[in-house]
Amino acid sequence: MNVDTPLALAWVRAIAAAVEQEQGRLTELDSAIGDGDHGSNLRRGFTAVLTALDGPDAPAPAGAGAVLTRTGTTLISKVGGASGPLYGKAFRAIGAALPQPGEAPAGPAAFGEALAAGLRAVRDLGRAEPGDKTIVDAWTPALDAYRAAVTAGAGLPEAAGAAAGAAERGALDTVPLQARKGRASYLGPRSVGHQDPGATSTALLFRALADVTRAGAARGPGD
């Protein structure tokens, strides 16, 4: 399985659905250590993304890279706080790393490098390291698990499933951490004991990828 335009669209739509479903939980987590708007901001952003991709006036994207680049650009323009720029730049970086129109779609290994570009964009903008209680604490183990699975011979659905599980564990592992970046860092030791909302939404992102690739594999080519 390769990352083509239909798969990229399915991934973004699945993220939007997950954000819609988990908006309240994301807001609750952010209310404990942040501004309390992570869920509502992401919901607004991905609602705008769906319009940009599926609206009546939306031009057809020329490849998976264009889908994800447009996603990132829309998030940057529509989402306030830190999550818009961070996720926006991540999706733009992933999109830029994918093959151009007319080239063969990215396979599992190439898509892993695109995911790595997304993580670099997050770290470059947020200046966060693993252990800082941020998006990075879910994305880093997800990428490591994805790459390990591909190296072991896994296809895209299996690698995405491994990444999703690792991202979810990474999000849970932020609970005992003290925040060192973002608004949560202002709380100092009081940030300990709370799950990071950004790491949690990153886990949603990877779980959505696992779901759509598994569904695609179940349908099979041509279905």
Superfamily of domain 5-219: DhaL domain (1.25.40.340)
User: Cβ neighbours of residue 14 under 8 Å, at least 6 residues apart?
Assistant: 208, 209, 211, 212
**Torsional class of 79: left (φ above 0), alpha (ψ -120 to 50), beta (otherwise):** beta
Confidence of residue 149 (pLDDT cuts 50, 70, 90): very high
What are the strands, taking DSSP E only, across 17-154?
A: none
Burial per residue of 128-166, b for 16 or more beta-carbon CB atoms within 10 angstroms, e otherwise = bebebbbbbbbbbbbbebbbebbeeebebbbbbbbbbbb
**What's the pLDDT band for 220 if we cut at 50, 70, 90?**
low
Token pair listed for 188: 């100092």
Longest CA pairwise span in the chain (Å): 54
8: its two tokens: 């990229």
Q: Are 139 and 167 in contact (CB under 8 A)?
A: yes
The residue extents of the domains of the chain are 5-219
The predicted-structure confidence for 101-139, as pLDDT tens digits, reads as follows: 878 889 999 999 999 999 999 999 989 999 999 999 999
pTM for the full predicted model? 0.91
Asked if 51 contacts 58 with a C-beta cutoff of 8 angstroms, the reply is yes
Determine contact, residues 217/56, Cβ cutoff 8 Å: no
Each residue's pLDDT tens digit, 183-205: 788 888 888 999 999 999 999 99
Confidence tier at 218 by pLDDT (50, 70, 90): low
pLDDT of residue 223: 38
197 closest CA partner among 78, 73, 86: 86
Query: CA of 17: how far to CAs of 78, 109, 141, 208, in Å?
Result: 17, 27, 24, 9
pLDDT in tens, 5-59: 999 999 999 999 999 999 999 999 989 988 888 999 999 999 999 999 998 888 8
Average confidence (pLDDT) over 61-76: 94
Please state the rounded mean pLDDT for residues 208-216.
92
How high is the mean pLDDT of the chain?
92
Q: Which residue, 35, 37, 40, is CA-closest to 19? A: 40
